[in-house]
């Protein structure tokens, strides 16, 4: 027995190796936004708000052939144990860039030349896996804003903890001595990967196994995203 797995092979919080933490999503959370979502993923709490398509300012940034997604990922200063400096750091800038690119792969931006679609995601409470949780929430917010997409963007972290391959590492597991943390986001219909980042060292066999695990989990998470959107619109139609 280790501190990461009990005798039955369950993780420190009772999950099996293929369980994510509980995920709940509410679409249409921010009144003022064109589209929005509130997501809880385990102890992560995240708000995503989308504004646009709207005129691209400054104008020299406008693309006459398609719209541009501007993704802003921020960890709130109170979201982590030590106060985070509210000024965006390199991590915020990096995650904003790769997440914006991931959404741009799915959104049909040719429909919106010269415009900006601003996606603001704030992590209120962080417990590892926030980049994927942020992207998952943002994808719901984008759909809620009525932006046509090829598919939802859905993700999960997968990795290795104490020699075992697992889905969705939390902060405790991410700090394991041999941890591998692989953030994967896909368009589940085609399994095209739109975001991939990894910490740690793994072999080819583990890598393919992890990708397979991520692929099937993304399909499950997409169903949660879709259910959140359906719930919002059913409520509106029944008003």
The H helix count followed by the E strand count for the chain is 4, 9
Number of residues that bind ligand ADP (CB under 6 A): 14
C-beta of 144 vs 174, nearer to ligand ADP:
174
**Taking Cα atoms as reference points, which of 174, 165, 155, 176 lies closest to residue 209?**
165
Q: Are 231 and 27 in contact (CB under 8 A)?
A: yes
Is 11 a binding residue for ligand ADP by CB under 6 A? The answer is no
Report the alpha-carbon distance of residue 50 to residue 52 in Å, rounded: 7
C-beta of 117 vs 128, nearer to ligand ADP:
128
User: Do strands 154-161 and 68-75 pair parallel, antiparallel, or not at all (unpaired)?
Assistant: unpaired
C-beta of 17 vs 80, nearer to ligand ADP:
80
Provide the minimum distance between the beta carbon of 131 and ligand ADP in the complex, in angstroms, as a whole number.
Answer: 3
Task: Write out the two tokens for 148.
Answer: 């046509």
Report the alpha-carbon distance of residue 24 to residue 5 in Å, rounded: 25
Written as one string, the DSSP assignment of 12-68 is: TTS--TTPPPPEEEEES--TTSSEEEEEEETTEEEEEEEEEEEE-SSGGG--SSS-E
Provide the minimum distance between the beta carbon of 231 and ligand ADP in the complex, in angstroms, as a whole number.
Answer: 26
Give me the 100-139 binding string for ligand ADP, x by CB under 6 A, dash otherwise. --------------------------xxxxxx--------
Contact residue for ligand ADP among 17, 62, 76, 80 (CB under 6 A): 80
Is 143 a binding residue for ligand ADP by CB under 6 A? The answer is no
Considering only the stretches 1-9, 28-36, 76-84, 96-104, report the one whose residues sit in contact with ligand ADP under the rule CB under 6 A: 76-84
Binding site for ligand ADP (CB under 6 A): 75, 80, 82, 84, 91, 126-131, 171, 174, 183
């Amino acid at each position: 027995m280790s501190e990461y797995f009990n005798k039955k092979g369950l993780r420190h919080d009772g999950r099996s190796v293929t369980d994510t933490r509980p995920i709940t999503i509410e679409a249409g959370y921010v009144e003022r936004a064109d589209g929005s979502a509130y997501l809880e993923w385990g102890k992560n709490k995240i708000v995503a708000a989308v504004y646009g398509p709207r005129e691209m300012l400054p104008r020299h940034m406008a693309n006459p052939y398609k719209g541009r997604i501007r993704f802003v990922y921020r960890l709130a200063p109170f979201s982590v144990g030590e106060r985070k400096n509210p000024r965006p750091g390199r991590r915020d800038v990096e995650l904003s860039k790769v997440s914006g690119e991931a959404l741009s792969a799915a959104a049909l931006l040719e429909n919106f030349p010269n415009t900006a679609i601003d996606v603001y995601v704030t992590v209120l409470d962080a417990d590892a896996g926030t980049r994927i949780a942020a992207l998952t929430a943002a994808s719901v917010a984008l759909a809620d804003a009525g932006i046509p997409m090829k598919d939802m963007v859905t993700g999960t972290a997968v990795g290795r903890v104490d020699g075992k391959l697992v889905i969705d590492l939390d902060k405790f597991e991410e700090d394991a001595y041999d941890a591998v943390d692989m953030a994967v986001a896909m368009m589940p219909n085609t399994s095209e990967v739109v975001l991939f980042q990894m910490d740690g060292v793994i072999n080819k066999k583990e890598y393919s196994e992890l990708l397979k695990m991520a692929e099937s989990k993304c399909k499950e998470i997409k169903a949660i995203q879709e259910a959140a959107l359906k719930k919002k619109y059913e409520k509106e139609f029944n008003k």
